[in-house]
Amino acid sequence: MRLLPLLVLVCVLSLSGPVRPAAAAESDFRPAILLDEDRSRPHDAGGGFVDMALAGAHAFTTLTGQPVAEFALASADDSAPMPLAHQAQRALEQGYTALIGVGFSYKQAFAELAPRYPDVRFVLIDASVFGMNVQSLVFREHEGAYLMGVIAATASSRDHVGFVGGWDSPLIRRFACGFVQGARSVTPDVAIEMAMAGDDVSAFHDPEAGYRLARQQFEAGADVVFHAAGHTGAGVIRAAAETEARFAIGVDYNQNGEAPGHVLTSMLKRVDIAVFRSLKSLAGGTWTPGTHVLGLPVGGIGWALDEHNVHLFSDETYRAIAEAEFAILVGDIVVNAYSTDSGCPGHAFEPAGTTP
C-alpha cells in the first residue's frame, strides 16, 4: 500500500487540475480524518476502504505540504471502544477546522455536532447529513456492483454465483441489489447465494466469518462470490484460493494480487479521490456543502484489470462488461438502488438485522 498515495496523485491530477500550495491556503485550515478502526489491532489495520481514504489524505499532504491529522479509534480495553461522537469531539477540542468522517457510521455524530460547530467544515463519506457546514460524499456503488454481477454471471460455468456482505445495512444492500441485477441481466435464471456477516460494524472485521460464508456458498454450487465486507472479505478470498475453479471478486481497492488466479476482478470505490478532492476544495476555498454523488462518469466507481486477472477474462466477458458499462454511462441501463422503502427488484432481503 506504500505506492498508493503516488498512484492517487496520478489519478487526481488528471481529474482535479492544479492545487495551490498550503502556504496560499487559509492559515487556520487544520484538517483531520476520522477512522472507524482501532489501527493498533492487526485485524483492523491495513487494506481496504480506510486505507484508500488515508491514501487520498496522504496524496494531498504530499502535493501541498498541508498535514492531515489522523484520529483512529482507541479503547482502554477490548470491550469499550471509543464512541464516534467522542472521537470527533476530541478532534474539535484540539482545534481542527475540518473533519472527514470515513464511513456511514459517522452520520449520527456529525448530525449532532455540525449544528454546534457552525464554523467547522464536516465531510461525511458514504452517508448524507443536511447542514450548511456538511458535505456528504456518496457513491453509486450499485452501478459498480451491477458490473460485478455481469462479470460473475458471464464467467460462471455453473450459472450459480454468490454475494457476501459485511454489516447488513442499506449501504451493503445497495451492493447486493446491484449485483443481483447485473447477474440476472446476463442469465435471468442464475442462482444467487446471499449472506451477510452481521448487523454491526464488527461484521466488517471478521475474516473467519467471511471464509465460512464463502465456503458455504461454494459448497452450494456457486463458482464466483463477490464480497462487500471490508476486512471480512479476506476470508472470502482465502476460501476461493483454497477451492479449485472458484473465484472471488474484491471490493473498494484492487485485491487482484491477494490470490492471483482466484480473484476474478475487484470493484473499485475511489474514496481516495473523493477525500483528495474534498481536501483540495477546502484548502482552495471552493468547498461547498450538500450531497455530492460519485459514480462511473467521474471515475468514482470502476473495476480492476491487471496482470493478476487479465488471463481470467474471456472475449465474451470483455464484451459483456464493456457493453454494460457503456449502457450505464449513456443511460440505456438504469440500475435500481436498494432503499428501505422500495427494497430491491428481483430479490427479497431477510428482515434487517437477520444474520446467518
The sheet carrying 290-294 orders its strands as 69-72, 31-35, 98-102, 121-125, 134-139, 290-294
Crossing angle (nearest 10°) for helices 271-284 and 4-16 = 60
Q: What confidence tens digit (pLDDT) does each residue in 278-305 have?
A: 999 999 999 999 999 999 988 899 999 9
4-139+271-298 and 141-269+305-330: same fold? yes
Amino acid at the residue 150: V
Strand pairing partners for 198? 167
Mean pLDDT of the chain: 88
* 17 — pLDDT class (breaks 50, 70, 90): very low
Determine the average pLDDT of the residues in 266-270. Answer: 95
Crossing angle (nearest 10°) for helices 141-155 and 315-330 = 160
Domain 4-139+271-298 falls in which CATH fold?
A: Rossmann fold (3.40.50)
Q: What confidence tens digit (pLDDT) does each residue in 65-113 have?
A: 999 999 987 644 444 556 788 999 999 999 999 999 999 989 999 999 9
* 19 — pLDDT class (breaks 50, 70, 90): very low
Q: Where are the domains of the chain?
A: 4-139+271-298, 141-269+305-330
Residue 289, helix vs strand vs coil: coil
Distance, in Å, from the CA atom of 198 to the CA atom of 201, rounded to the nearest integer, reads 8
- CATH number attached to the domain at 141-269+305-330: 3.40.50.2300
